[in-house]
Structure 1
Amino acid sequence: MRFSLGVLLVLYLCSCGYAQKVRYDNYKILNLNIQSLEQSKFIEKLKGLSSFSFLKNIERNHDLLISPRELKKLAPMLKTANITNKILIDNIQEIIDEEEVKTKAEGDSFGWDRYHSYESIQKFIDGIIEDHKDVVTPFIIGKSYEGRDIRGIKISYKPGNRGIFLESNIHAREWITSATCTFFINELLNSKNPEIRNIAENVDWYIIPVFNVDGFIHSHEKDRMWRKTRQPTTNPKCPGTDPNRNFDTHWSSDEGSSGNPCDETFRGAAPFSEPECKALSDYVRSIKDNIGVYLAYHSYGQYILSPYGHSKTEFPENYDDMLQIAKASYDAILDQGYGTKYRYGSTASVLYVASGSSVDYAYNELDIKIGYTFEFRDQGRYGFVLPSINILPNCQETVAAMIALVKESKSLGYL
């Protein structure tokens, strides 16, 4: 059965130069629950159709962004396949519109009651640099495809500290990541909490608040649901590469990435085809001897994921240590009292196979032996359009997780 272009038709029009902002009026977020091998095979066939956008793609649990027209076609097929499904969001555009109103009402203040534009985040970083010249050093790892600086800051209170590298917003639409990252920066520099002062002053922090600069700006200005970079591909209708599948570690694994430019997990034409990823690799390689831990902030799902991503059956030699550190972070999040439950373990065994990721690259190729991908709130109710009321709780949970992570990493000799 053939399906119309649906979701990606809108994206194609935008990528071909149309000025209007992509809208998702009456688009649904549909959750599919898979209970059998036959149902899994049906889902695999569904993934090959360009009319659907899978937002969450786990073995038995899938979230689908779908237009009303496509849902009308799909519904009887789901019924025939006996696949349990429910609508999580009836009209995602309503949430996007509410979010946009709050973002545009920024004024002169920077806070964590709403999401911020790239320009606002850069002003915040400029202020941090100006106000803390004694401990904050700005750096630029390189330029994005569209020519923007990829900026970071180093926070160092004294010589001799081991370092943690933290990248955020590698996927454009995951706005909760840069919101949480900026909060964490503010805490490292301004909090009086003795536990935060301890991790601020006894660890060197290298932090990139918005890594996928072009994609992030595109998600604000053109398409809220944009994930990838913005460099053209061999298919003019499908620009962009998944930067977290573009690193040179198990790069060509078909199970953990896609060779189709129209797929959300497109790995690119070659390892480091994306200038952003090459710049990150070069920069971290230049400081790797000082880095004990590599962290990446993502959303959504509530996971603390360690290497490996490329295999469900292979595990790092220090996997027990990774689990111990992740467990400490998990406990710290629970102790915040919001009832937010994370799962932890290797990416492939707990979530899905994902090859060519930054965390796996740091572990496999740069010999940074502790690394985690934090997949923030929520578990799918709102997903990438997480309401801003969740920002502060997520930030508080993450700071607690960072305190526990540093303490446990130190006890095991990694910092």
Structure 2
Amino acid sequence: MSKLLFLLLGVCLAVVSAQRARYDNYHVYEISANNLKALELLKSIEGSSDSVLFLDSIHYLGQKAGVFVAPHKVPDFLKNLIDNEVTFELKEKNAQSLIEAEEQDLAKPRAAVYDWTNYHDLEENYAWLESLAANYPQVSLIEGGKTYEGRKIQGIKISYKSGNPGIFIEAGIHSREWIGPATTTWIVNELLTSSTPSVRDLAENYDWYIIPHANPDGYAYTRASNGDRMWRRTRSKQAKGCYGVDANRNWDFHWNEVGASDKPCSDTFAGESAFSEIETKSLADFIKTLKGKIGLYISFHSYSQLLLYPYGHTQNLPANIKDYRQIFDVAIKAMGNRYGTKYVGGNIYDAIYPASGASIDWAFGTQDVKLAFCYELRPGKNAFLTGFNLPKEQIIPTSQETLDSITAMVAESKKLGYFN
């Protein structure tokens, strides 16, 4: 898929605890494998213990990843790394300190005004979407599906006139990546209220289908009093007492071929089958009703400052790769115009790591969506100490530059004939 980072409690740690998960004195390491022996060791450790939590799965030699290690496991963990020639560096001795300020914010009374100076909870975000439908004739509520715990996958459609081509935005499929939903709602507000000509063109000449929370149960759990800020997955019950599936490995397009795990406690667990999760299955069913309508599909994740396009399961490139690259170049240039933020990227397999079963690959590969992109938002790659809990002060700057990028992306796509 936010400032702190690491890791996910994609395992079962504190999952059933009545208290909020804490990471007091957990050590944070940056690790990488420089030989096959080290690579196999790290693959065997990830998802096997609730005391060693990986930020990302290790897929290839030289890849860096952040890891949380419980204090009682540090000696054994380090011995294992040294014995197997794993490169490592201690980044922080108390992971809890990295999220403490944000944890304190959660305990404060909520402001009455909905704005983008804080990260809002799920109920506040949904109430705000409902208020838009009540106050703007261009807005209608849509339901992108249901969740394991019975919540709606709430979204909105913005349409100023009939006959517009469609753009679909999905965010929050990894629940700890709070900047995705926050950026999405900020863009919604701009589409409805901005007087900037380029934004008005976007708003009025395209139909927007927007799902800020593709994994509402997971997001609610990251904020709950008995939850875990670093939770990534859904909340369905799995084998071995574990919970959840990586919802961005669960789509029925080359499902579980590469870059996903069969371990029920792994953060990249692909599920028992494609579309095993009601969240992905019901959202996909909704998207199918729009087949032929959507010209551009956008997914927001964090972090790494990457712009990605298909495919994740193979190094083979889309047939329209020339257009993808042209649009990519324009979009990342626009991303840097306002604040100088540098993005890189390319096809998923090569630009980040092999990963099959992702939403944008499914949309591109099965739904006749000609253009599908994934933004990995701020902060930059390997920013292990400023990862998933991006400071709230960066919500608006992140959102501004992202809308700049999307504006350029849509304009270039139209120039190439995708919205004609």
TM-score (normalizing by structure 1): 0.91
Counterpart selection for 2:250 from 246, 255, 259? 246
Does structure 2 conserve the Cα–Cα contact (< 8 Å) formed by 1:303 and 1:342?
A: yes
Match of 2:222 in 1: 219
Change (3 A) 1:258 1:14: same
State how far apart, in whole Å, the 2-side matches of 1:122 and 1:160 are: 28
Change (3 A) 1:159 1:9: closer
Matched residues, percent identical? 40
Match of 1:344 in 2: 345
Match of 1:356 in 2: 357
State how far apart, in whole Å, the 2-side matches of 1:100 and 1:245 are: 29
State how far apart, in whole Å, the 1-side matches of 2:47 and 2:143 are: 39
Matching of residue 176 in structure 1 with residue 179 in structure 2: yes
State how far apart, in whole Å, the 1-side matches of 2:270 and 2:369 are: 23
Change (3 A) 1:328 1:11: same
State how far apart, in whole Å, the 2-side matches of 1:114 and 1:85 are: 34
Letter paired with 1:359:
I
Deviation of 1:11 (Å): 5.6
Deviation of 1:331 (Å): 0.3
Match of 1:323 in 2: 325
| Aligned pairs (5 A) from 1:223-302 | 223-235=228-240, 237-253=241-257, 255-302=258-305
SS in 1 for 2:289: helix
Change (3 A) 1:353 1:115: same
SS in 1 for 2:124: helix
Deviation of 1:89 (Å): 4.0
Tell me which protein shows more helix as a share of its residues: 1
SS in 2 for 1:287: coil
Q: Once superposed, what is the RMSD of the aligned Cα atoms?
A: 2.1
Aligned residues: 403
Deviation of 1:357 (Å): 0.8
Which region of structure 1 is more displaced relative to structure 2, 381-390 or 341-350? 381-390
Which region of structure 1 is more displaced relative to structure 2, 121-130 or 207-216? 121-130
Does structure 2 conserve the Cα–Cα contact (< 8 Å) formed by 1:292 and 1:369?
A: yes
SS in 2 for 1:171: coil
Match of 1:401 in 2: 405
- Bigger relative contact order (CA 8 A; separation at least 6): 2
State how far apart, in whole Å, the 1-side matches of 2:30 and 2:415 are: 41
State how far apart, in whole Å, the 1-side matches of 2:259 and 2:67 are: 19
Letter paired with 1:43:
L
State how far apart, in whole Å, the 1-side matches of 2:377 and 2:23 are: 24
SS in 1 for 2:42: helix
State how far apart, in whole Å, the 1-side matches of 2:91 and 2:207 are: 41
State how far apart, in whole Å, the 1-side matches of 2:351 and 2:8 are: 29
Deviation of 1:8 (Å): 9.5
SS in 2 for 1:272: coil
Change (3 A) 1:69 1:115: same
Letter paired with 2:267:
E
Does structure 1 conserve the Cα–Cα contact (< 8 Å) formed by 2:10 and 2:47?
A: no
Deviation of 1:308 (Å): 0.4
Counterpart selection for 2:415 from 402, 411, 414? 411
State how far apart, in whole Å, the 2-side matches of 1:12 and 1:266 are: 12
Deviation of 1:171 (Å): 0.7
Change (3 A) 1:28 1:203: farther
| Aligned pairs (5 A) from 1:53-202 | 53-57=53-57, 59=60, 60-103=63-106, 104-132=108-136, 134-202=137-205
SS in 1 for 2:370: coil
Deviation readout 1:97-140 (Å, 9 max, x if unpaired) = 311332444220122222111111112212222221x1101111
State how far apart, in whole Å, the 2-side matches of 1:173 and 1:10 are: 11
Deviation of 1:294 (Å): 0.8
Change (3 A) 1:404 1:29: farther
Counterpart selection for 1:390 from 394, 397, 402? 394
Letter paired with 1:319:
I
Matching of residue 306 in structure 1 with residue 309 in structure 2: yes
Which region of structure 1 is more displaced relative to structure 2, 44-53 or 181-190? 44-53
Unaligned runs of 5+ in 1: 1-6
Letter paired with 1:310:
H
Does structure 2 conserve the Cα–Cα contact (< 8 Å) formed by 1:88 and 1:382?
A: no
Change (3 A) 1:14 1:285: same
Deviation readout 1:37-59 (Å, 9 max, x if unpaired) = 45434433433642422213453
Letter paired with 1:390:
Q
Deviation of 1:12 (Å): 3.2
Deviation of 1:234 (Å): 2.7
TM-score (normalizing by structure 2): 0.90
